[in-house]
Chains A and B, each alone.
Chain A
Amino acid sequence: MKINRRIIRAVLVYAVYILGLGLLQTILSDRVAILNAKPDLTLVLAVLAGYLFGQRDGITVGLLAGFMRDALAGRGLGLGMLLLMYAGLTAAVAFRGFFRRNISLGLILVILETVMYHLMITFLTFAVPVLPGVAYTLPGLYQHMLQILPGALITNTLAGIPLILLLYFAGPYRRDGRPEEDDEERDVGDSLWQMK
C-alpha cells in the first residue's frame, strides 16, 4: 500500500511538472530571453530528475518531456524524446556518481548537460535532417550552436535554481523516503540527500 501511494505521488508530481513546464516553455514571452535564448525548462527538468532521482526517473521524465516538446514545437516526432532521454540518462549515470547528488552542484550539471545537448542536436540535425530538401553543413550548424549557446547556458542555469528547489521541497518522493534503485544505489554509494 505504501509503495502504491509513493508511486502515485511520483506519477502525479512528474505529470504536473512535465505538463506545466512543457506548456510554460512554449508560451514564454521573448521578454525573458537572454542573448536570444529562452530557458529550456524541459531539458533542465529531465537533467535534474536523472541527477536527483536516478536512471529510471531520468529516462522516463526525459522521454515524456521530449514527447511534449516534439508534440508542441518539434519539426517531427522522436528527436526531442531521444535527446531528453539521453540528457536524463547521462545526468544519472555520468555525473551522479561524481557529484554524489549534491544539490548545489546540480547547476554545474545543468551547464554541462546544456553543452552536451547542443552538441548532440547539432550532430543529429546534420545526420538526420528532419525536413526533406534541406541540406545542412556541419560547420554552419556548429557556428549557429556557438551563437546560441551562451544565452542557453545563462537561461538554463537561472531556470535550474528554482527547479532544483522545487524538486527538493516539492519533488516526486518524500525526502526521507527515496526509492531504492537496485544497482544504482551501489554505484552512487549514498542514498541521502545533501543540501550544501
Chain B
Amino acid sequence: MPKPRKNRIFAIVLITLLLLAVTLLSTLPGSPLSFITSPISVLLEPVQKGLSKTVDQVNGFFSALSESIVIREENQRLQAENAELRSQIDQLAEAGRQYEELKSAFKLKSRFDAYEIVGGRIMTREIGSWFDVFRIDVGSRDGFRVTETMSYAVVNSQSQLVGRLMATDLASAKVLPLLHEGFAVSAKVNTVSSPLFRVRGDFDLKEQGLCLIDQIPLNARLQIGDEVITSGSGGLFPAGIPIGRIVQVLENADRNQRQAYLQPYVDLENIQTVFVMKAVGHED
C-alpha cells in the first residue's frame, strides 16, 4: 500500500475516533464542548436574525396573497370581537385592581413571581428528525448555564410549556422540545390534590405531535379532555405550567402500566418567540 494512502486511512480512523469521543463527551449535561459553538453563534447571530426576518416576510407575503379573502372576513369578525373585548377589558381592569388588593392583603404570590422571564427568538429549527432541537438567541451571557443538575423551563407567550434548555453557549441555547424522546416532566391533572405522573416525549408519537403519559398511580383517574400541568416536583419546572390535554387513555389489564396520550398546547411549528424561566437569585 502506498505511503500517502496509508497515512490518509490512518488520519481518517483517527478523526473517526476523535469525533466519537467528542460525540460522547458533548452528551454530558453542562459539557464544556457546548462552548465550542460560541464563536459561530456570535458571528452568525446577526445573519441568522436577518435571514429569519426575510424568510418570515416572504412567508407573510405569500400567506397574505393566498389568504386575503379569509383575512378580510376575519378582519370583520375581529372588529366585532374587538368591541366586545374592550368592554371586557374595562371590567377586567376593575377586577385586576381588586385582585391586587386581595393579593397584598393575603400575601399571595403570583404563579411565577419567583422566576425571572427572559424572552428569546428562535434562530434555527430542526434539520430532519435526527437533528431535532432548535436554537434561541439566549445564552450564557444572559445568565443561563445548563449543568448536570441545572436546566431551565421554556414556555411560550401564554406560559404554556415548550421544553427545556439542553445546552448553552455564549450567545445561544439549544432547546429540547417537549415532544422529543429525551424530554420528561413531572405533571398532574389540573385539579386539587391530583396524583403525580410523568409526561414525556416518545419516539413514535413525536411525528403525531403527541406526548406520552406514564407512571400513572393506581388511584389516578384520567379522562379525555383533562388539562395537564407541571407539578413542580423535581424543582426544574415551576408548578402550574399548562402542558396540554389528554386525548386518549390506554387502560391496561396490568393497571400498573397504564398510559395516556397528551396533545400539547404549544404549536412548535409556528412558534417564533419563547420565554426562558430562571429562578430569581439563581446566578449559575
Contact = CB atoms under 8 A, between A and B. Distances in A.
Contacts of A141: 203
Interface string B219-260: 000000000000000000000000000000000000000000
Interface stretch (B68-76, B77-85, B124-132): B124-132
Contact of B27 (A38, A59, A80, A130): A130
Given A71-B37, A73-B125, A131-B182, A59 B12 contact: yes
A151 to B, nearest CB: 9
B158 interface: no
A31 to B, nearest CB: 8
A144 B129 contact: yes
B2 interface: yes
A157 interface: no
Contact of B134 (A73, A79, A183): A73
Contact of A76 (B26, B126, B135, B269): B26
Contacts of A183: 2, 4-5
Interface in A25-44: 25-31, 36-38, 40, 42
Interface in A19-62: 19, 23-31, 36-38, 40, 42, 55, 59
B23 A27 contact: no
Interface-central residue, B125, B166, B174, B184, by most chain A CB under 10 Å: B125
A184 B242 CA distance: 59
Nearest to B129: A148
B181 A23 contact: no
Contacts of A72: 124, 127, 135
Interface size class of A (residues with CB under 8 A): 35 or more
A74 B24 CA distance: 13
A60 B128 CA distance: 23
Contacts of A1: none
A152 B123 CA distance: 23
By size class, the interface of chain B is 35 or more
A27 B125 contact: yes
Contacts of B124: 23, 26-27, 72-73
Contacts, number: 134
A82 B29 contact: no
Contact of B126 (A63, A73, A82): A73
B20 interface: yes
Interface stretch (B40-48, B137-145, B187-195): B40-48
A183 B5 CA distance: 8
A7 B204 CA distance: 47
A131 B201 CA distance: 12
Given A75-B133, A77-B26, A85 B19 contact: yes
B16 A82 contact: yes
A26 B20 contact: no
A182 interface: yes
A132 B127 CA distance: 21
B15 interface: yes
Given A82-B16, A132-B29, A134-B181, A23 B132 contact: no
Contacts of B127: 25-26, 38, 40, 42, 69, 72-73
A89 interface: yes
A31 B269 CA distance: 11
Nearest to A132: B27
A121 interface: yes
A82 B23 CA distance: 9
A79 to B, nearest CB: 5
Nearest to A56: B8
Given A29-B59, A40-B127, A72-B135, 8 more contacts: A73-B126, A76-B31, A82-B19, A85-B19, A128-B23, A128-B24, A131-B27, A133-B182
Interface of B: 2, 4-5, 8, 12, 15-16, 19-24, 26-29, 31, 33-34, 36-37, 40-41, 44, 47-48, 51-52, 55, 59, 123-135, 166, 174, 181-182, 184, 203-204, 207, 269
13 contacts: A19-B47, A24-B51, A29-B59, A59-B12, A73-B124, A74-B131, A75-B174, A76-B26, A76-B31, A78-B20, A80-B131, A121-B130, A131-B181
- For the complex of A and B, the 7 pairs showing the least CB-CB separation, nearest first, are A26-B124, A78-B23, A131-B182, A78-B22, A76-B26, A77-B26, A71-B37
